[in-house]
Chains A and B, each alone.
Chain A
């Protein structure tokens, strides 16, 4: 122990202090929510609950639509992530490499979905979606989930490409590699951190959408927030807390699964 302290310089001390502050501020409150989900009637001025029970969790897992809604949520999230990747990769590449007239207008335009209140767009789109038969369908929900996610996806990938630099791509093309191979052997591994962030962020955002899903999904596409939001107006705080934890765990599970898949793909590509 003393050995560790002796080795720490002033700079390291400040860093570790900051890390502790960060954890205290942003991670510890989460522990409180966990305790809350097991508590019964935790009131002022008690610092810890007087009684614990599993009732909150029993309520959550007792909902007959829970399983179905988790499946729907994962399905919607998966398609949203996929569509975001497909749309943002080419756009981000161009935006990071080329400069052209009207670029800032295009950038603003691509950012506009998150600058305009989402509920406004959803209310406006509802009519059109019904006419096209997209309302009440998973596909329609996936499409409107592009509103709050696509701008972030493009932004993240763009930063990824900028870091990659153009030089790298040119080198490979001189060496005679086609665009496809170039992407899988060179860009993809280097872009991986960005892709990972993209998937996590777009999934989290998609997971949190209540209004968009409710308006376009019309109660037919039941994702977790649709189950959860009504309970938020319940005065049973254990249920509210339990659902909050479920919400944070889902993206972690999702990203874990995707991580394994990604590693497998890369290993396969490298072997070829």
Chain B
């Protein structure tokens, strides 16, 4: 009986191991040499796996209820959204690269910044594909700043822009009459309302970007350089301001700065409960859906700091090196960059975030549609946002803040 059992176990292993026979795929260069029409033609009836972070109902809804049916109808492609944290699918790709697994399971990934830098360095991406996409060529263009650099890393066509968001602060207008409009005013406000403000731990991207605003202010005029490269000298000119500002506000923060919310979600919860009166974050329109589902109070409004401005952030779609269906992936990404898909994405009922398309390149009808779009009462005007827009900084600054923050704030 035991022998039989052992045989069964061994057999089980074999069955499983044999089930994974490799399909042959054309090499990456061959795919990139193909004609666009040919690419689109071959993808009909195929399946595309989109791996993306899945923690926002609005974003998921946009993919599941809008993009997926439209793709099916237009191209006959079945888009499958797989919810997974960015770090986890990056780790998966890295290990697959090491194990030399040529036939993967991921077709499209949603990445930017440090993750893109890592992926590029470890050679985890498919190749320079963005210039093949008609919508990218028509509405964004290869010389566009967001198509050249992703937080200081040269893009080289390895990823295509998907969305553009700006960093704004949210406040409860029943408690706050006049929101601050500069960093100095914010400091004064925090001092006048002890315990009613905090920012997320800098290991969270939102918390990290809050500190980046201080760095930009501290560096002053030279801050324009920071989008393109990491430099120690630039930091030296600005770090004094960063740490003294954070030290000064610390005693007046929520829980006297003894602890910080681990993530933006936790800060949102504190805001929701009324423990703090302000929250923040990327995507100037993100409060709309939260107000609608009752998470944020109805009196939520937003503001930006005109001094130093509001950092913007672009996120991208890319194709991994071992995508089983790169043609399908390109078709999907091209579709998601269409004016139609980008305008639908701006609808506050679903996602509500900004477009990456160049407004001037769009045709009249699309321009009208964007102008007439009501993004909601909590969203600031497009002029105000774009006049105060700052580019995102090189990922080197993100790491610097990550490494220094805890030392300066907790371990002097």
Partners in one complex: yes
CB distance from B81 to the nearest CB of A (A): 8
The answer to whether A215 touches B83, judged by C-beta atoms less than 8 angstroms apart, is: no
Q: If A227-B83, A233-B263 touch, does A44 touch B274 (CB 8 Å cutoff)?
A: yes
CB distance from A107 to the nearest CB of B (A): 20
**A232 and B266 alpha carbons, distance in the complex (Å):** 11
Chain B residues whose C-beta falls within 8 Å of the C-beta of A126 in the assembled complex: 91-92, 95
The answer to whether A233 touches B265, judged by C-beta atoms less than 8 angstroms apart, is: yes
Closest to B84 in A: A219
Q: Please tell me the number of chain B residues within 8 Å of chain A, measured between CB atoms.
A: 48
Chain B residues whose C-beta falls within 8 Å of the C-beta of A179 in the assembled complex: 1
Q: Does A9 contact B (CB under 8 A)?
A: no
Q: Does A64 contact B (CB under 8 A)?
A: yes
Q: Does A5 contact B (CB under 8 A)?
A: no
9 sample A-B contacts, Cβ–Cβ < 8 Å, listed by A number: A123-B91, A132-B17, A137-B20, A219-B106, A220-B82, A226-B84, A230-B53, A230-B83, A235-B295
* A 25-40 binary contact with B (CB < 8 Å = 1; else 0): 0000000000000001
Chain B, range 262-309, C-beta contacts under 8 Å to A: 263, 265, 268-269, 272-275, 290, 293-295, 297
CB distance from A81 to the nearest CB of B (A): 15
Q: Does B169 contact A (CB under 8 A)?
A: no
Q: Does A239 contact B (CB under 8 A)?
A: yes
Q: 3 nearest interchain CB pairs? A: A133-B20, A230-B54, A41-B294
Chain A residues whose C-beta falls within 8 Å of the C-beta of B51 in the assembled complex: 219
* B 294-331 binary contact with A (CB < 8 Å = 1; else 0): 11010000000000000000000000000000000000
CB distance from A89 to the nearest CB of B (A): 10
Contact of A230 among B13, B19, B85, B89 (CB under 8 A): B85
Q: Of B96-104, B132-140, B177-185, B333-341, which binds chain A?
A: B96-104
B residues whose Cβ falls under 8 Å from a Cβ of A? 1-2, 5, 12-13, 16-20, 49, 51, 53-57, 60, 64, 81-85, 88-89, 91-92, 95-96, 98-99, 101, 105-106, 263, 265, 268-269, 272-275, 290, 293-295, 297
Please classify how large the interface on chain A is, using the bins under 10, 10 to 19, 20 to 34, 35 or more: 35 or more
Contact of A226 among B18, B83, B265 (CB under 8 A): B83
Closest to B106 in A: A219
Chain A residues whose C-beta falls within 8 Å of the C-beta of B56 in the assembled complex: 234
Chain B residues whose C-beta falls within 8 Å of the C-beta of A134 in the assembled complex: 16-17
Chain A CB within 10 A, most for which of B2, B83, B295? B83
Closest to A40 in B: B294
Q: Does A96 contact B (CB under 8 A)?
A: no
Q: Does A22 contact B (CB under 8 A)?
A: no
* A 43-63 binary contact with B (CB < 8 Å = 1; else 0): 110000001010100010001
Chain B residues whose C-beta falls within 8 Å of the C-beta of A226 in the assembled complex: 83-84
The answer to whether B83 touches A236, judged by C-beta atoms less than 8 angstroms apart, is: no
**A238 and B292 alpha carbons, distance in the complex (Å):** 13
Contact of A219 among B105, B265, B274, B293 (CB under 8 A): B105
CB distance from B348 to the nearest CB of A (A): 16
* A 79-95 binary contact with B (CB < 8 Å = 1; else 0): 00000001000100000
The answer to whether B17 touches A133, judged by C-beta atoms less than 8 angstroms apart, is: yes
Contact of A220 among B13, B53, B88, B105 (CB under 8 A): B105
